[in-house]
Amino acid sequence: LLVCNFLIAGKERIAMRKEVMETNLENAAKYEQLLIRLREFSAGNTLPMEEPLLTDIFKNVSKILLKEESLLELELPLVICGDIHGNFCQLLRIFNRIGWPPKVRYLFLGDYIDRGYRNLEVIALLFTLKILYPEAVFLLRGNHEASPVNRNYGFKREVRNRGFSTLFWLTAQITFNCLPLAAVIASKIFCAHGGISPFLKDFDQIRNFQRPLNVPSDGLIADLLWADPSDDTENFALNEIRNTSVMYGKNAVMQFCKDFSIDLTIRAHECVEEGFAYFADGKLITIFSCPNYNGNNNGAALTIDEECKIEITTFCSISSSSNVENEEYLNAEDEKKH
């Protein structure tokens, strides 16, 4: 029955992609052309971005996202990426090193925008890939994919500075409101941007959230996007660092894994020096994919194969961190850890 349901879901998504593409064949060709331009981006160059085309991409990707559950249920293999934060060169670096969709399947954990310099290119590439290859690219929501945050941390400013309208920014928020909130991989790995919550008692709570939705200031949705692990608490405590959501300790992670029959939790949301960090005796991994975000931190992406073996690719920081858009950055050597 599960296999049949999976096959049916796959057929529905193929039909959905066909429906999206056939509704506007002219723009479908433009999507392909835009993807080529984005892939061939050369560091330091200006890439023209057209508001009507990006608006159309937002509207079509929203249809695809809303066909998915608020809790994605995915199979292996997958590459999992954390925060990108407008670092388009790093996004290209990940795809060029590990592989491009649809040959390689990806799950991104959110925070695509803010603080970086090419937010529009990042979301244009990810959303275009989602339209073209909906079964190879999966996108979760991060805390920056919410208007109270991205109006203040760079995205809205970039929209304005590049000549786009306020209506375009508002359209982007509608699309962000459509993003799924969490994922379960192979029934054993839980993924969310921030992590776990004391309000989470059953995965149906996440499945039952109706999107599009705004992010509330507290509660389960807020925790999925905002919560942090902490060595200073055993279970749950108020997150005084962020002034919202909670912090969770080792005991909370262990109990969550036991209650939900989960082997591993993977989250993003925090810049960690090596690009990845273990917590709770390896039951939780933080993955952060944007090098040079906070000084000389590395970035990382996590690959899980069909047998659930994990390989972490680190993307080293570069010394010239004041300019992350140069050939040195795109061609920097990477190191694999097992």
pLDDT tens, 48-91?
889 999 999 999 999 999 999 999 999 999 999 999 999 999 99
- Please say if the pLDDT value at position 46 is more than 50: yes
- Please compute the mean of the pLDDT values over residues 251-280 and round it to a whole number: 98
Residues noted as catalytic: 144
Mean pLDDT of the chain: 90
Q: For the residues of 109-160, what is the DSSP string, one character each?
A: -S--SSSSS-HHHHHHHHHHHHHH-TTTEEE---TTSSHHHHTTSSHHHHHH
- Please say if the pLDDT value at position 142 is more than 50: yes
- Please say if the pLDDT value at position 109 is more than 90: yes
Instruction: Render pLDDT for 169-226 as a digit per residue (tens, 0 to 9).
Output: 999 999 999 999 999 999 999 999 999 999 999 999 999 999 999 999 999 999 999 9
- Please say if the pLDDT value at position 151 is more than 60: yes
CB atoms within 10 A of CB 205: 15
pTM of the predicted model over 0.85: yes
Output DSSP code: residue 234: S
User: Distance (Å, rounded) from C-alpha 218 to C-alpha 110?
Assistant: 18
Domains in the chain, start-ordered, CATH in brackets? Answer: 2-337 (3.60.21.10)
Please say whether the beta carbons of 69 and 102 come within 8 A. Answer: no
- Please say if the pLDDT value at position 3 is more than 60: no
- Please say if the pLDDT value at position 326 is more than 70: no
Paired tokens of 58: 């937002």
Helix or strand (DSSP H, E) at 182:
strand 182-185
Q: Among 26-40, 99-113, 250-264, whose mean pLDDT is lowest?
A: 26-40
